[in-house]
């Protein structure tokens, strides 16, 4: 009987460990976990799928045609599965088509590509999402327009315009030579994404978390000034927007600032992030921000690597304490427990 009871206790203990481990993955508590497509599909709770295949082995050959087929006011998750290939088209998720999960076969296999420069960032965008409750997984978004003339009507070439609330990108990539990711407004989560650009290439006034993302800086020789990775545009002291980069790494082929102040209340934090020598010693710039720097929130927490030396940092920038950074490291910064299917 004693052996039997021990076996029961051992079985219960194993069951408890398995349950806790699974719960940790689901609720984003296990930092070693990987968020993959099956887990996301499980969490949104649907297998309703529209297949898009360039070779005709699906319901549609065009991504936009598949989106157009989703009914207005859609209230249940629907999967649009983009099979491998290069989809050369502009894609728009309109505001009246929520609950779309756009699932690719991997960012090295599924690509949405367009080539357009414009005086208007939104007009130039290869991909636009203006509906809430949108998820993308395993897709590369690219604007392959050549670098235009600085300060001209052909300067903007956006890869993705994110202009809605409750949007998440997992294992995606964003490519452009300039204004790559227009993170315009709303609460957003980027997990294990790759973002490439040169000048102000992550910009807008979104309230966004970039978790374990790779930021790659390419050269832009048109300008004498150094470029910036971010240009966050928080508008006033009650505005709860901001860009938070947690873990991940920054590297590239040209010198760059972590961010410039796009407005007096600009807020950007890099935490626990590897910074290569591509980051210039001051780290931050108030270029284009008129007046005092007292309201800027350009900050770091435990950044590391050769670009993380703080002794020459801009005097208004902050090196945060554990207590100061805590609200930004929590998924509650974007109210993620209320809407994200899974996070790390």
Question: Hey, which residues are catalytic here?
Answer: 200
Judged by phi (left if over 0) then psi (alpha if -120 to 50, else beta), residue 341 lies in alpha
Q: How far apart are CA 274 and CA 283, in angstroms?
A: 13
CA 286/CA 79 separation, integer angstroms = 43
18 exposed, middle or buried (CB, 10 Å; 0-12, 13-18, 19+)? exposed
Strands (E) across 171-293 are located at 173-175, 181-183, 187-191, 194-197, 202-204, 207-211, 214-217, 227-232, 242-246, 249-252, 256-261, 267-271, 274-275, 284-285
Tokens for 155, please give them: 């300067």
In the chain, how many H helices and how many E strands? 6, 27
Q: Is 43 helix (H, G, I), strand (E, B) or coil?
A: helix
Helices (H), 27-76: 37-44, 63-68
Question: E strand or H helix at 62, and its extent?
Answer: none
Whether 127 and 134 have beta carbons less than 8 Å apart is answered as no
């Amino acid at each position: 009987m004693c052996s039997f009871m021990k076996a029961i206790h051992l079985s219960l203990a194993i069951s408890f460990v398995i349950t806790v481990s699974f719960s940790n993955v689901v609720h984003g508590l296990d930092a070693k976990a990987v968020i993959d497509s099956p887990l996301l599909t499980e969490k949104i709770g649907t297998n309703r799928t529209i297949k898009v295949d360039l070779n005709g082995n699906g319901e549609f050959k065009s991504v936009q045609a598949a989106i157009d087929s989703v009914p207005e006011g859609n209230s249940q998750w629907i999967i649009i599965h983009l099979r491998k290939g290069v989809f050369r088209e502009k894609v728009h998720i309109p505001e009246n088509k929520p609950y779309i999960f756009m699932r690719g076969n991997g960012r090295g296999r599924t690509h949405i590509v367009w080539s357009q420069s414009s005086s208007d960032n939104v007009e130039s965008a290869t991909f636009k999402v203006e509906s809430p409750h949108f998820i993308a997984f395993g897709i590369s978004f690219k604007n392959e327009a050549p670098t235009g003339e600085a300060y001209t009507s052909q300067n903007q070439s956006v890869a993705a315009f994110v202009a809605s609330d409750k949007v998440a990108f997992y294992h995606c990539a964003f490519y452009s030579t300039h204004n790559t990711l227009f993170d315009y407004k709303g609460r957003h989560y980027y997990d294990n994404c790759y973002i490439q650009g040169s000048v102000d290439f992550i910009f807008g006034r979104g309230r966004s978390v970039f978790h374990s993302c790779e930021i790659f800086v390419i050269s832009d020789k048109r300008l004498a000034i150094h470029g910036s990775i971010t240009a966050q545009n928080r508008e006033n002291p009650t505005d709860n927007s901001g860009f938070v980069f947690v873990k991940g790494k920054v590297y590239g082929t040209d010198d760059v600032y972590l961010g410039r102040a796009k407005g007096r209340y600009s807020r950007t934090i890099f935490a626990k992030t590897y910074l290569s020598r591509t980051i210039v010693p001051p780290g931050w710039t108030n270029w284009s921000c008129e007046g005092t720097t007292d309201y800027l929130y350009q900050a770091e927490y435990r950044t590391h690597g050769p670009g993380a030396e703080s002794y020459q940092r801009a005097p208004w920038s902050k090196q945060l304490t554990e207590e100061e950074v805590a609200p930004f490291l929590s998924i509650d910064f974007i109210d993620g427990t209320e809407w994200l299917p899974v996070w790390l």
